[in-house]
Chains A and B, each alone.
Chain A
Amino acid sequence: MGNSCGSYQRNNQRPKRMSEFIFAINEADLADGGKSLVEVEDRLVLIFRIGEQFFCIDDVCTHDGGTLADGNHEGYEVECPRHGARFDIRTGAALCMPAFKPTQVHECQVTEGKVFVKLS
């Protein structure tokens, strides 16, 4: 058993900055249709890949403040594993109850095989 309480992508090196964009994950480490939980600047975010598009939202369900990381996702929607709230990963918008506030969305940029995130 490790001494870390969470299992997610940790960057072993100092984040490489592109202006305000911060390195999050290698493009090759995220398969098409996949998602990954990543720590970016002391914040846990979810990065989704759909084809060549990458999307990033906070790992927070705005209904109860819990994590979305274990939720199912299909197309551009991710579902909270606890109460079934759904969010649009492109805009963060809450798509159904019990959530009604959007979760925070962050801009993604891919450069030379690396995915960078600009925290909002």
Chain B
Amino acid sequence: MTQVLEKIGFHEAGFEALMDSLTQPEWLAEMRRDAWAKFNRLPWPSGRDEEWMRTDIRMFNLDKYALGNGGTEAFPEGTLSEGVELSGRLVTVDSVPRVSELAPEWSKKGVLFGPLSQLVNEYPDVIRPHLMARTYDSGVDRFAALHAAFWSSGSLLYVPRNVVVNQPLHTLLALSDGSADLSHTLVILESGAEATLLAESCSLENSSGGVPGGFHCGGIEMIVGPGAHLRYVNLQDLGHGVWQFGHQKAIVHQDASLQWTVGALGSRLSKVNQHVELAGAGATSQVNGVMFTEGKQHLSYHTLQRHAAPHCRSDFLYKAALQDNSRTVWRGMIKVDPGAQKTDGYQRNDNLLLSETARADSIPGLEIEADDVRCTHGSTSGRVDEELIFYARARGFTRKEAIQMIVTGFFQQVFDRITIESVRDALGLSISRRVREYE
């Protein structure tokens, strides 16, 4: 198994040390060198770029972070898998695998699940055609290039043709204070396959009791083959000192479906690009987003629903509640290619501002190049209605209980779309714990 033994910084010597420490095929080494060259060529994103002008990363300093060595700290069990019978489980700490399990009945059927850095050596024929091919562009910005050069460990889920994995698989990514994690997720469902993957990330507790910090620069690629069905849940609950950057993309082929649920609760600053491409006729996607921010958190999500084929349907709903001085940015785009007729596209973002000083920027967009489509989008932002609080208090609830009920009700629309009970419970509980009382 590939392991990073020493802390490795993000500089030339660090890159060479990483390359020396990895066991990998030559084509992958070449891919990393190419990405490292891009990293050295590209500038840092700046506030002059449209995509970054609302997300201030001037205080981010890459030199503060290094790839960790996995340590020996205990790690939590995770919340998404509570009470769920799993078919596989993978735990990484600072990008180093600590647990990797797959029930024998699934491995006998050809399912692959485990650390990507290990499986890429054993199953290059499965992985090479997809890894950072159509679903990851290492040249899009400096973080993408850094990730493509330095990614380590990560996770692979491969489900062969017509295999239906009827119990969820679970990955837990834990980050220790001050460490970096650049894990890469690759999910491949062959035609007719089905699977549910529950992925969560969290920070380990800081021994000094402070806010856990760190750097997470991740990449997610999902390829859903013709007629396949994937449910993917991603719960991000990193420490409030963590800088998170991510490029995530799914390609959904003919008559396939993807249900992608995002829970974004943690990090100091997140800048995530989430992209779903409907590449074959009849493909469908449903994206559900739940965001809750507090303190000085800043979560920035840039989403793209791309209709590249006719008769596809995309349904996107993000809901965010913000308290204290936190901020969210959502820029969403439905892009319909020429020829993608009979497209049915929907996107909506609702924001509930729980404090006077929270701020939500919501920028939906449409770019339509076909002439027989239905595309709708909308966005709302508002404060908690004082009349609702008065109504609840008149019936014996405290102000805090009333606000908690209103927040829960606000998210109910998106919870109702989430078909996995443990995910609904984990998100609901995490949010109600965080809600404070406001005048």
Interface set of A (CB-CB < 8 Å, partner B): 1, 3-8, 39, 42, 44, 64-67, 82
> Within 8 Å CB of B393, what residues of A?
none
Top 6 A-B pairs, shortest CB-CB distance: A6-B58, A3-B62, A4-B61, A5-B44, A5-B57, A3-B63
B62 touches A6 (CB 8 A): no
A44 touches B58 (CB 8 A): yes
> Within 8 Å CB of A39, what residues of B?
59
A8 nearest CB neighbor, chain B only: B58
B164 to chain A, nearest CB (A): 45
A43 to chain B, nearest CB (A): 8
B43 touches A1 (CB 8 A): yes
B60 touches A65 (CB 8 A): no
B54 touches A6 (CB 8 A): no
- With the chains together, A7 CA to B53 CA distance in Å? 16
Interface contacts beyond A4-B63, A39-B59, A66-B47: sample of 19 additional A-B pairs, CB < 8 Å, sorted by A:
A1-B40, A1-B44, A4-B61, A5-B44, A5-B45, A5-B57, A5-B58, A5-B60, A6-B57, A7-B58, A42-B59, A44-B56, A44-B58, A44-B59, A64-B54, A64-B361, A65-B361, A66-B53, A82-B53
B184 within 8 A of A: no
A-B contact pairs, 13 of them (CB 8 A): A3-B10, A3-B63, A5-B58, A6-B60, A8-B58, A39-B59, A44-B56, A64-B361, A65-B327, A65-B361, A66-B54, A67-B56, A67-B58
A110 to chain B, nearest CB (A): 25
- With the chains together, A13 CA to B54 CA distance in Å? 30
- With the chains together, A6 CA to B327 CA distance in Å? 20
B66 to chain A, nearest CB (A): 12
B62 touches A4 (CB 8 A): yes
> Within 8 Å CB of B231, what residues of A?
none
- With the chains together, A3 CA to B10 CA distance in Å? 9
B61 nearest CB neighbor, chain A only: A4
> Within 8 Å CB of A67, what residues of B?
47, 56, 58
Interface size class of B (residues with CB under 8 A): 20 to 34
B307 within 8 A of A: no
- With the chains together, A6 CA to B57 CA distance in Å? 7
> Within 8 Å CB of B247, what residues of A?
none
B241 nearest CB neighbor, chain A only: A42
> Within 8 Å CB of B61, what residues of A?
3-5
For window 26-71 of B, CB contacts with A under 8 Å fall at 40, 43-47, 53-54, 56-63
A18 to chain B, nearest CB (A): 23
A16 to chain B, nearest CB (A): 20
B359 within 8 A of A: yes
For window 346-393 of B, CB contacts with A under 8 Å fall at 359, 361
> Within 8 Å CB of A66, what residues of B?
47, 53-54, 56
For B359, give its contact among A3, A4, A6, A65 (CB under 8 Å).
Answer: A65
> Taking each of B59, B60, B62, B63, which has the highest tally of chain A beta carbons within 10 Å of its own beta carbon?
B59
B434 within 8 A of A: no
B11 within 8 A of A: yes
- With the chains together, A7 CA to B44 CA distance in Å? 12
> Within 8 Å CB of A3, what residues of B?
10-11, 61-63
B215 to chain A, nearest CB (A): 11
A1 nearest CB neighbor, chain B only: B43
> Within 8 Å CB of B47, what residues of A?
66-67
- With the chains together, A113 CA to B61 CA distance in Å? 29
B327 nearest CB neighbor, chain A only: A65
B216 to chain A, nearest CB (A): 16
B95 to chain A, nearest CB (A): 19
B60 nearest CB neighbor, chain A only: A5
- With the chains together, A82 CA to B46 CA distance in Å? 14
B48 nearest CB neighbor, chain A only: A70
Q: Mark B1-14, 1 if CB is under 8 A from A, else 0.
A: 00000000011000
- With the chains together, A8 CA to B61 CA distance in Å? 12
> Within 8 Å CB of B40, what residues of A?
1
> Within 8 Å CB of A65, what residues of B?
54, 327, 359, 361
B43 nearest CB neighbor, chain A only: A1
> Within 8 Å CB of A64, what residues of B?
53-54, 361
